[in-house]
Amino acid sequence: MDTAKVAKTCILGDRNTSDIIIRLKNREGRPEWFYSHSAILRNRSKFFASQVSLPNSSTCIEIHCSEFNYDDYVELLRLLYLPVDSILESLGSVRSAVGILQTAIAIHCEDITQSCTQYLEAVPWDDKEEELILKAVAKLGPMATPILARIQPVDASATKNVFVSAVRFAMSIGRPCPPFGDELKTSAQEQVEFMLGEDEDMPLIAADDEVKSVVRIGLSNICSSFENELSSLLLESNLVCDTAEDKILQTLSDIEWMCNILPKMDLMKDFVFKWAEISVSVLGIIEDEKLACVMWGLKVKLIQVTGKVLEAVGYGNVILPAPCRVQLLKTWLPYIRKIKPILDSKGNEDTEFPYMMTEDLCQSIEGAIVSLILSLPSNDQADILADWMKTEQLRFPDLTEAFEVWCYRTKSAKRRLVQGLDSVNNATVSL
């Protein structure tokens, strides 16, 4: 019998033509009867076909459903009366399709199961809906393959290609960032961090030589851009204009972002060496008289980036030779010590002055400097501490802890020296 022709002449709920009743319990637990047609049920559902073909079959088939899937069963009964090619168009939401799919699986409706699967494979989901879908398709077997293809793990090569492309965009490698691309660039930077993994989850990408090579190229390009943009400031005729500062601030923000991903790729050392190499020239420009009273945002951002470098070196995450550590500290400590009270003074004069060193930033830099000082040879520590105590600005950074530790270590070292000499003298006398 042609199901389509039967469906045209039969309507769900028509008592005059119905020869079988489907009994469901509604949300309130009361039974509801749906006047149906065995010809349609038998052709569209193996479950109904088996029920109808029983020797002592009744004209009433009872389906046990709950308050949670009652609506799904009602909708499924409606879909049984639609032509197969109209089912897909009648599905209106992911949650509804998932519910109908589960009921279709339960009563073996292949046409509806196929349509729900096709629908779910094609429409977007959110995270919660994805969990529902995974539970629903667990019993589908090979039919679920198109749906699962959207969420199955990607092979390493494809993942790396996406990551490298994201890195190139995030660092504007090989092309300028389009005017409309700021949001996309920010998104690329966020997803690069996410793919490298920053919690208990497995990272999506392994930093192999090819990936590191791309990141090193990006780092080199960004640092070169920063140097060129900074040097060009002294050639600007109007330094009050925000355009030049905005451009270089964006580059510094990119460098600051790189400080978040480089440690995860064991590349922070590359940046630290580069920053140490250009520090003298950077400060030579930023302390020029032409920039004395402008570009406070740039100066604060410089301190933030330098803080990242001081933390990496001071806490031993990047290993530098002692002379390099001394040079790095002696280069930046005087500037940090000088700029902090200037910013504080401007903040006191104007409560809306936005360019301040926050308490967290100050604590972070102070801790890194103390740790860095204590890692230096004793004589270099003595030079830095003596210079600190000669200045008027003792409050920041406060090196009291480093001074106390240096005093204790110096006294202990002298005691060990004396004890060693006494031991040698005693040994000579006994001979």
| Residue 336 pLDDT exceeds 90 | yes
Q: How far apart are CA 3 and CA 45, in angstroms?
A: 12
Q: What is the pLDDT of residue 293?
A: 87
Q: How far apart are CA 101 and CA 230, in angstroms?
A: 62
| Mean pLDDT, residues 335-346 taken together | 93
9-18, 138-147, 356-365, range with greatest mean pLDDT: 356-365
Whether residue 308 contacts residue 259, with contact meaning beta carbons closer than 8 Å, is answered with yes
| Residue 150 pLDDT exceeds 50 | yes
The pLDDT confidence band at residue 4, using thresholds 50, 70 and 90, is low
Q: What is the pLDDT of residue 277?
A: 93
Q: How far apart are CA 357 and CA 369, in angstroms?
A: 16
Write out pLDDT tens, residues 232-284.
888 876 665 667 788 899 999 999 999 999 998 999 999 999 999 999 999 99
* Percent above pLDDT 70 for the chain: 86
Q: What is the pLDDT of residue 275?
A: 96
Q: How far apart are CA 350 and CA 352, in angstroms?
A: 5
| Mean pLDDT, residues 104-119 taken together | 92
Q: b vs e for 306-317, b when ≥16 Cβ sit within 10 Å of the residue's Cβ?
A: bbbbbbbbbeee
Paired with 34 in beta bridges are 22
Q: What is the pLDDT of residue 114?
A: 92
Q: How far apart are CA 203 and CA 361, in angstroms?
A: 29
Q: What is the pLDDT of residue 345?
A: 92
Q: What is the pLDDT of residue 200?
A: 54
| Nearest residue to 285 via CA among 345, 226, 330 | 226
| Residue 2 pLDDT exceeds 60 | no
* Percent above pLDDT 90 for the chain: 48
Write out pLDDT tens, residues 14-36.
888 999 999 887 667 778 899 99
Q: What is the pLDDT of residue 151?
A: 81
**DSSP code of residue 392:** S
| Nearest residue to 264 via CA among 215, 210, 325, 319 | 215
Write out pLDDT tens, residues 218-237.
999 999 999 999 988 888 76
Q: How far apart are CA 294 and CA 292, in angstroms?
A: 6
The pLDDT confidence band at residue 419, using thresholds 50, 70 and 90, is low
| Nearest residue to 370 via CA among 321, 336, 323, 411 | 336
The pLDDT confidence band at residue 317, using thresholds 50, 70 and 90, is very high
